Chain A
Amino acid sequence: MNKKQKKVVVLACSGIGKTYGALAREAAYELVERVRPGVTSLTCLPLLVVNDAEARHLVTENPVLTIDGCPRECARKSVEALGKVVDSPIQVIGFYTAHKNLKPEGVAKLNEAGRKLAMVAADELAAAVDELTQEKK
């Protein structure tokens, strides 16, 4: 198995209408770019909507972590529509519940508290990524 196949695929909710969609996306960026670069891979959720072959292969052949912004769970359900069980399904609101001092606001751009919460979320998600990468070894 090559290294590329060991990457954890991170899929964020693609919502443009809610603060928690923006928070989910920012947490995904923080996780992939700052916290666990090299062992994670970010891909666009709508590629699964159109059944893109490359994205489908990436998702079905690698461990997947989804970060959803609302109870509709578009990210998790879009993966499961491919017949793949999500290895680590995350609801981003849980991070706010655990860190009430960081209230996210804004949709197009998160406020400072929201950006901090995204960093905290990504830091805490590192353990899930590590677990998934260990399982793949």
Chain B
Amino acid sequence: MDTGNKKVGLISCSGEEIPEGTVCRLACRRVLDELKPHKTVTICLPLFIAGGEEERAFAASHPTITVDGCRKLCAARGTEMLSGKPSRSLLIPEILRRRGLATPSKRRDFGPKEDAVVREVAKEIAAVVDEILEEG
């Protein structure tokens, strides 16, 4: 598979209020750092407001995956409103349900049990990265 130099943009909700937000951030970080380090880039969602034209062009410049921790869908809606329509929108509660994973009960200081959940979610995000790259 030749995916060239194309990079997929990952935009995570920050979700400070809820454990699913922490899953979201850590799973995206794992994809960026370990699973797809040369095929993914990210941007902080609030930069669509605080940044300039370059930041707002992010979704136009990259096929983009948004990952949200709750049904308010801040990442998906914020990206579409301020930058461009994401290629895929993922929702943590749906991923956890599909994979039969329990929602972590705390929003920080994740241990081995919560890290295992993060790893599974990261695999699913990485698989979607591959799908997008294969689409060309």
Instruction: For A47, give its contact among B48, B72, B81 (CB under 8 Å).
Output: B72
Determine whether A15 belongs to the interface, using a CB cutoff of 8 Å to chain B: yes
How many residues of B are in contact with the other chain, CB < 8 A? 34
Instruction: For A49, give its contact among B16, B18, B45, B110 (CB under 8 Å).
Output: B45
Bound-state CA distance A49–B74 (Å) is 7
In B6-44, the 8 Å CB interface with A consists of: 12-18, 21, 25-26, 28-30, 33, 42, 44
Contact string, A35-67, partner B, CB cutoff 8 A, digits 1/0?
000000011111111101000000000000000
Determine whether A73 belongs to the interface, using a CB cutoff of 8 Å to chain B: yes
The 10 closest A-B pairs by CB, nearest first: A14-B14, A74-B46, A46-B74, A77-B50, A49-B78, A74-B50, A108-B29, A50-B77, A15-B44, A46-B45
How many residues of A are in contact with the other chain, CB < 8 A? 31
- 8 A–B pairs (Cβ distance < 8 Å), ordered by A: A13-B46, A29-B16, A44-B14, A46-B14, A46-B74, A50-B74, A77-B49, A107-B33
Does B50 lie within 8 Å of A73, measured CB to CB? yes
